[in-house]
């Protein structure tokens, strides 16, 4: 996950220099190379509207990443602002600890349950997806203890999956560069291969590879012992890992294994939830019947921080029937203003039929144009589901085994050229990924594709000039 700062450019606005100085002197930013950030200075974003951002230098930028996968309804939605403001005037804060609640948290829990897969009627609220995954880990282990099986503690995850950056979240995730900082993962977490056919499928067909990758779960259960394994966690589509879309054979086989072997299935819906794949949840898109679903991001379209864990009735019932206190929670679990904003966000999504629009309108429209990018000489694969996609940059089209000599350099070059062309598109290794707001119009999609084509042409020319493409 490369640092996402812009290339150094002349600064014309004195305020930009002032803010960049504040950054150097006071701000430690997430996922940033601090030496690089101090030298270059951050891009300062000052306003946003719809699918566009503006920086302090007056540049208009198309936000192809919806902030961080989250701004589903676009920027500048006054209804969300008004909902949060009205709630803050009525009840700005109160906690939900010690058998206490307030109307917004209860109304939001009900609203989410009505959209979720069948049988998922309970929500534990958190402040983020990372906190949601910490909560999930504790819930899973406590569930098995309540069921009289306290030895079932191990959670199996996937290499290159992403489940947040807290200690438990980063441990559950399978990114080695994160594990190298802080002596992670914590005990009781195991990782199996990801369903990444383009990069790791070898000579297998996608369907064959999907069955093989799912089979790695059962082989891990056999190795660890079924009596020790508590759950398997995975994103329906791996997001930060590079938009890894599993083969069609993968999820049915994973689901079968979890049920057969008696382990909980956790679908991390932090990115895929709330319309991203053209259904309310990625689990519905793939026909998954999860036991728990961490959620966040699109729940409030990023306007205020809120996350949670959806819990299936069969799991929640154990907590309720066995009784006893669950010693877990956060000061801001179910913050009233955040809940009010989330409720307004869900109302907008339903009224404007944004999920249906991703499935039937803007999704298919952008997918067709995206897949056409697969004909570019720099692109080995153009994959997309709903409104999330990836372009695999390769030195030699048609040969999946060929990689750039230095992984990540081509992606970083392309990302920086995207900024120059007024587009936020993220680089993961040498994959370029997008996840635009769900309100993206056809005209804005055309604008985005034109900027991407220009960027791909410039990247290809630069790599060819440097001799980094195959002869």
Q: Collapsing DSSP states into helix, strand and coil, what is residue 89?
A: helix
Provide mean pLDDT across the span 187-215: 98
In this predicted structure, the answer to whether residue 2 has a pLDDT above a threshold of 70 is no
- Span 186-213, average pLDDT: 98
pLDDT value of position 10: 77
Q: Mind listing the pLDDT tens digit for each residue in 332-375?
A: 999 999 999 999 999 999 999 999 999 999 999 999 999 999 99
Q: In what order do the strands lie in the sheet with 431-434?
A: 379-385, 388-393, 431-434, 426-428
pLDDT at 470: 78
Rounded distance between C-alpha atoms, residue 51 and residue 79, angstroms = 17
Distance separating alpha carbons of residues 298 and 98, to the nearest angstrom: 28
SS3 139: helix
Q: Answer with the residue of higher pLDDT: 3 or 143.
A: 143
Residue 11, pLDDT score: 87
Indicate the DSSP class of residue 244.
B
Residue 392: count of CB within 10 angstroms of its CB: 21
3-class SS shares of the chain: helix, strand, coil, % to 5: 45, 15, 40
Residue with tokens 């996937």: 158
* Residue 318, token pair as written in the block: 């154990």
Task: Give the whole-angstrom CA distance, residue 389 versus residue 436.
Answer: 10
Whole-prediction pTM: 0.96
Task: Report the distance separating Cα 71 and Cα 408, nearest Å.
Answer: 27
At residue 435, the pLDDT reads 98
pLDDT of residue 130: 98
Q: Return the structure tokens found at 143.
A: 């569930």
pLDDT recorded at residue 5: 47
Quick one: DSSP state of residue 246?
P
234-274 tens-digit pLDDT: 999 999 999 999 999 999 999 999 999 999 999 999 999 99
What value does the mean pLDDT of the chain take?
96
Q: Name the burial class of residue 130, with classes exposed (0-12), middle (13-18) and buried (19+) by CB atoms within 10 angstroms of its CB.
A: buried
For the chain, the distance separating the N- and C-terminal CA atoms, rounded to the nearest angstrom, is 29
Name the residue among 178, 180, 149 with its Cα closest to residue 165: 178
Q: Is 365 helix (H, G, I), strand (E, B) or coil?
A: helix
The mean pLDDT of 396-423, rounded to a whole number, is 94
pLDDT band at 393 (very low <50, low <70, confident <90, very high): very high
CA distance 322 to 234: 28
Kindly report the number of other CB atoms within 10 A of residue 329's CB atom.
16
95, 331 Cβ separation under 8 angstroms? yes
Q: Would you place residue 6 in the very low, low, confident or very high pLDDT band (cuts 50, 70, 90)?
A: very low
Tell me the Cα Rg of the chain: 22
Give pLDDT tens digits for 428-451: 999 999 999 999 999 999 999 999
Q: For tokens 């799991």, what's the residue?
A: 315
pLDDT above 70: residue 471? no
Residues across the chain? 471
Give me the pLDDT at residue 69, please.
98
Q: What are phi and psi of 53, to 5 degrees?
A: -115, 160
What is the rounded distance in angstroms from the CA atom of residue 108 to the CA atom of residue 86? 16
Omega into 390 within 30° of 0, i.e. cis?
no
| Calpha distance 82→103 (Å, rounded) | 17
Please name which of 23, 62, 65 lies closest in space to residue 40, comparing C-alpha atoms: 23
Q: What is residue 8's predicted lDDT score, i.e. its pLDDT?
A: 53
Using one digit for the tens of pLDDT, what is the confidence trace for 71-126? Answer: 999 999 999 999 999 999 999 999 999 999 999 999 999 999 999 999 999 999 99
**Using an 8 Å Cβ cutoff, are 251 and 286 in contact?**
yes
pLDDT of residue 7: 44
CA torsion 169-174-180-185 (nearest 10°) is 50
Confidence tier at 322 by pLDDT (50, 70, 90)? confident
Contact 261, 95 (CB under 8 A): no
């Amino acid at each position: 996950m490369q640092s996402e700062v812009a290339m150094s450019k002349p600064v014309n606005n004195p305020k930009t220099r002032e803010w960049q100085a504040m950054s150097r002197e006071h701000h430690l930013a997430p996922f940033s190379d601090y030496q690089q950030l101090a030298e270059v200075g951050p891009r300062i974003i000052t306003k946003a509207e719809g699918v566009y951002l503006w920086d302090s230098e007056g540049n208009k930028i198309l936000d192809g990443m919806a902030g961080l996968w989250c701004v589903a309804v676009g920027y500048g939605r006054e209804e969300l602002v008004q909902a949060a403001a009205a709630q803050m005037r009525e009840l700005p804060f109160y906690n939900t600890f010690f058998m206490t609640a307030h109307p917004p948290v209860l109304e939001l829990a009900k609203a989410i349950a009505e959209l979720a897969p069948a049988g998922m009627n309970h929500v534990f609220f958190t402040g983020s997806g990372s906190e949601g995954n910490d909560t999930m880990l504790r819930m899973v282990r406590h569930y098995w203890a309540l069921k009289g099986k306290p030895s079932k503690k191990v959670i199996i995850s996937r290499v290159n999956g992403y489940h947040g950056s807290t200690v438990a979240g980063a441990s559950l995730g399978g990114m080695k560069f994160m594990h190298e900082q802080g002596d992670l993962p914590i005990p009781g977490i195991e990782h199996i291969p990801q369903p990444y056919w383009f990069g790791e499928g070898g000579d297998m067909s996608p369907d064959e590879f999907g069955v093989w990758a799912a089979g790695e779960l059962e082989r891990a259960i056999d190795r660890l012992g079924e009596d020790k394994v508590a759950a398997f966690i995975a994103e329906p589509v791996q997001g930060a890992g590079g938009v890894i879309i599993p083969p069609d054979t993968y999820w049915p086989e994973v689901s079968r294994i979890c049920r057969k072997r008696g382990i909980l299935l956790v679908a991390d819906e932090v990115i895929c939830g709330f319309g991203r794949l053209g259904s309310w949840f990625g689990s519905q898109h793939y026909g998954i019947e999860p036991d728990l679903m961490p959620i966040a991001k699109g729940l409030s379209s990023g306007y205020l921080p809120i996350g949670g864990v959806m819990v299936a009735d069969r799991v929640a019932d154990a907590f309720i029937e066995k009784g006893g206190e669950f010693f877990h929670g956060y000061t801001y679990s179910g913050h009233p203003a955040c809940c009010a904003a989330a409720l307004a966000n869900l109302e907008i999504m339903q009224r404007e039929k944004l999920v249906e629009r991703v499935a039937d309108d803007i999704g298919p429209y952008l997918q067709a144009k995206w897949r056409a990018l697969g004909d570019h000489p720099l692109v080995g694969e153009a994959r997309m589901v709903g409104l999330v996609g990836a372009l695999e940059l390769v030195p030699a089209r048609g040969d999946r085994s060929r990689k750039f000599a230095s992984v990540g350099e081509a992606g970083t070059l392309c990302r920086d050229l995207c900024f120059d062309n007024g587009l936020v598109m993220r680089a993961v290794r040498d994959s370029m990924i997008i996840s635009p707001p769900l309100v993206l119009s056809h005209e804005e999609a055309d604008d985005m594709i034109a900027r991407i084509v220009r960027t791909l042409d410039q990247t290809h020319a630069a790599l060819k000039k440097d001799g980094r493409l195959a002869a």
